[in-house]
Structure 1
Amino acid sequence: MCGARNQTGVTDMGMGEIQARFHLARPSFTLDVDLTLPGRGITVLFGPSGSGKTTLLRCIAGLEQPREGYLRFQGERWQEDAYCLPTHRRPIGYVFQEASLFPHLTVLENLRFGLRRNTQARPADLEAAIALLELTPLLGRNPANLSGGERQRVAMARALAVRPRLLLMDEPLAALDYARKQEILPYLERLHDNLDIPLLYVSHAHDEVARLADHIVMLQAGRVLAQGPLLETLAQLDTPIRLGEDSGVVLQAQVSELDQEWHLMRLAFDGGSVWTRQRDLPLGRQLRVHIQARDVSVAIRPQTDSSIQNQLQGVVDAMAIDTHPGVMLIRVKVGASVLIARLTKRSASTLGITVGQSVWLQVKSVALME
């Protein structure tokens, strides 16, 4: 049980990383994980409902107390054997699905209330959180007069104001409609860009993963199926991670050209570029694009009489059977980037596609994560 001892057991092992190993058995569910997570950026715990995402997050927070547990955060021992650092002594901020604000207090009073028992927090930290999440116009309001997105921004500021070294978020957008999600996602990106602490983010929404994750952990039935840097992990042909209904990749891109005549914009990535419908984005804007395997076709030579305008030359890097024995996934290296295409085994045989072969890809559409 947590709470008996007060030492942190600082060592020089695993500095900068989060090392977690938990075995928690329940009548209808068992969590059994062994993870090493990066000490910076956003790690998304991804998977279907009931896969163990929230349980894992609660174990890291100390809210769940597995008999078999091991947790080190940046070299500090938080749990091992009978020793467990209590939750209130862990330097964490926690954002739940529901903001859980006091209805009789204003926004500012809610934020200040969370600091009363935290001796590490400073007024400057609260002011910085208010500025980062643009809450100044809301400080005098009561929670009943806030939108769902505004309430979650207050909850995020409350978690940041205690000067956490680790920020935990449990599906903070799950209760919001599409419009409110789009309202708050830029603030999550702002946290990513401005904070020098790790953020563990629980989600089963593929658009949130594609837009926010630096690192991903795929959970199913309490176990880890795959983990690693998002862009690299999605590009593996044997990964069980699918953002949406299909295999695909996420690329870091930049708006490099605007075609006002045809209302198009060019998105350049490391190795090539694609055209898509113009959006209200400036030149130079950095964003991610999600390209699914079903939207990529393969040809031996460039196509001159096709309606598909995005054509990229690359080299086949790997091939694997898809979930159906008659279908293949082809990974193609385009410069320093990779794309994945799906085609039938018969098509691959007819075209004579082999690893190391030069091919042309036609990209029908891309999804912008912005």
Structure 2
Amino acid sequence: MTTTSDTQGLALHFQVRRGDFELAVDLRLPGRGVTGIVGPSGCGKTTLLRAVAGLDKTPGGRLHLGERCWQDGAQFLPTHRRRLGYVFQEPSLFEHLSVRGNLNYGWRRTPAAERHLSQEELIEWLGLAPLIDRPVSGLSGGERQRVAIARALATSPELLLMDEPLAALDPTSKQAIMPYLETLHDRLEIPVLYVSHAPEEVARLADHLVLMERGRVLAAGPLAELMTRADLPLARADDAAAVLSGTVAAHDDHYALTRVALNGGTLTLARQPRLEGQSVRLRVAARDVSLTLSQARDTSILNCLPVQVVNIEPYDNTRVTVHLDCSGQPLLARITRKSADDLALSGGQTVYAQIKTAALL
């Protein structure tokens, strides 16, 4: 398993000017786990990754990974000396080589003493055993991207950069590759910077989030917090959603249901192929949450959790977004202004959230 002695995380400061565009970023990011970098096209996400990789020289820039300095006012490590892997939107593979040949290229670039990942681990994690001796020219888009990720990791990097790695794939290929990315999330012990336009993709993989706009960082912090913060774009979007963390409590085979335990209660979902005791994430769309002053008994909605109203924000002429605290986890409800007035909702009030549907991520 790839490891790093990092206890301080990734510290970076860059200022890049190109014509009318300026990237100005000053961040401290976790030393392990996936940091999702999101924002509209042209906001500087790829420019930031290129600066981290050293592909664009940034005078005055600073980059530290733990105690190691890759760049400051006195030095600038070129890309080939930075212990990083880079996965692009379009996989750049050696077409004349097999899958194994592509992995061997990354493997041979790394001195034996610095190899922390075996080829066997990579082949297992990314499900490459059936493909290992095939030429990459005959692989599907999703298969090629898995090979590209494995080759990037074959160098045993201390940092992995992923620039919209699923953007060029069709929906079926995206769904097929996501479990492999989740495996990397669970097993890698290095920081991963993951650029994406897809909120669901980021919600499924990321632990930490950086929101960017026009070359600036709007906010950075834990995923669940930033997805629901009233002053940020994600909570104001039409598809606003919260991410809840829980544990698979039990399966009901008679009704083909799965119960997920949260701090504040239990959510019941369609039967899921997960083990009891397994940690899971649930995406709950704001539009799928209704509120009631008392716990409803005669209802077809299975999920009803006690929550506390944090605040109420206008959404449009007819609706509001209610920010809720679900036993320490943020939750959103998108309801009509009339409903909010009829219920006389106010901050600090205890109500019940009826969750029509929740998606296991």
If the length of structure 2 is used for normalisation, what is the TM-score?
A: 0.90
Partner of 1:127: 120
- Give the letter for the 1:45 counterpart: I
Partner of 1:5: none
1:73 and 2:86 correspond: no
SS at 2:69's partner residue? strand
SS at 2:92's partner residue? coil
- Give the letter for the 1:19 counterpart: A
Q: Which of the numbers 125, 131, 149 marks the counterpart of 1:156? A: 149
Superposition pairs of residues 266-305 of structure 1, within 5 angstroms: 266-305=259-298
Deviates most, 234-243 or 295-304? 234-243
Structure 1 246/63 Cα, relative in aligned 2: closer, same or farther at 3 Å?
same
Partner of 1:230: 223
Partner of 2:44: 52
User: Is the contact between residue 24 and residue 68 of structure 1 (CA under 8 Å) also seen in structure 2?
Assistant: no
Q: Which of the numbers 278, 299, 312 marks the counterpart of 1:320? A: 312
CA distance in 1, matches of 2:332, 2:38: 21
SS at 2:118's partner residue? helix
Structure 1 75/359 Cα, relative in aligned 2: closer, same or farther at 3 Å?
same
Superposition deviation, residue 184 in structure 1: 1.4
User: Is the contact between residue 228 and residue 234 of structure 2 (CA under 8 Å) also seen in structure 1?
Assistant: no
1:182 and 2:175 correspond: yes
CA distance in 1, matches of 2:78, 2:179: 33
Superposition deviation, residue 282 in structure 1: 4.0
CA distance in 1, matches of 2:333, 2:117: 51
User: Is the contact between residue 208 and residue 221 of structure 2 (CA under 8 Å) also seen in structure 1?
Assistant: yes
SS at 2:296's partner residue? coil
SS at 1:331's partner residue? strand
CA distance in 2, matches of 1:343, 1:78: 49
Partner of 2:10: 18
CA distance in 1, matches of 2:346, 2:328: 20
Partner of 1:4: none
Superposition deviation, residue 74 in structure 1: 0.8
Superposition deviation, residue 183 in structure 1: 1.7
CA distance in 2, matches of 1:148, 1:135: 14
CA distance in 2, matches of 1:242, 1:29: 27
1:145 and 2:141 correspond: no
Superposition deviation, residue 173 in structure 1: 1.1
Deviates most, 341-350 or 182-191? 341-350
User: Is the contact between residue 109 and residue 155 of structure 2 (CA under 8 Å) also seen in structure 1?
Assistant: no
User: Is the contact between residue 117 and residue 156 of structure 2 (CA under 8 Å) also seen in structure 1?
Assistant: no
Unpaired runs of 5+ in structure 2? none
Q: Which of the numbers 347, 353, 365 marks the counterpart of 2:345? A: 353
**Identity over aligned residues, as a percent?**
47
1:97 and 2:89 correspond: yes
SS at 1:84's partner residue? coil
If the length of structure 1 is used for normalisation, what is the TM-score?
A: 0.88
Partner of 2:80: 88
User: Is the contact between residue 40 and residue 213 of structure 2 (CA under 8 Å) also seen in structure 1?
Assistant: yes
Partner of 2:187: 194
Cα deviation 1:240-297 (Å, max 9, x = unaligned):
2259733221011233233334333222222112222224444334321111211111
Superposition deviation, residue 89 in structure 1: 0.9
CA distance in 2, matches of 1:257, 1:220: 42
- What is the aligned length? 356
Superposition pairs of residues 214-225 of structure 1, within 5 angstroms: 214-225=207-218
Partner of 2:200: 207
User: Is the contact between residue 196 and residue 202 of structure 2 (CA under 8 Å) also seen in structure 1?
Assistant: yes
Deviates most, 283-292 or 222-231? 283-292
CA distance in 2, matches of 1:100, 1:281: 34
- Give the letter for the 1:22 counterpart: F
Deviates most, 67-76 or 343-352? 343-352
SS at 2:62's partner residue? strand
Q: Which of the numbers 226, 231, 241 marks the counterpart of 2:234? A: 241
SS at 2:144's partner residue? helix
CA distance in 1, matches of 2:97, 2:208: 37
CA distance in 1, matches of 2:65, 2:151: 22
Superposition deviation, residue 24 in structure 1: 0.9
Aligned-pair Cα RMSD in Å: 2.4
Superposition deviation, residue 57 in structure 1: 0.7
SS at 1:158's partner residue? helix
CA distance in 2, matches of 1:138, 1:247: 39
Partner of 1:9: none
Structure 1 188/243 Cα, relative in aligned 2: closer, same or farther at 3 Å?
farther
CA distance in 2, matches of 1:261, 1:97: 44
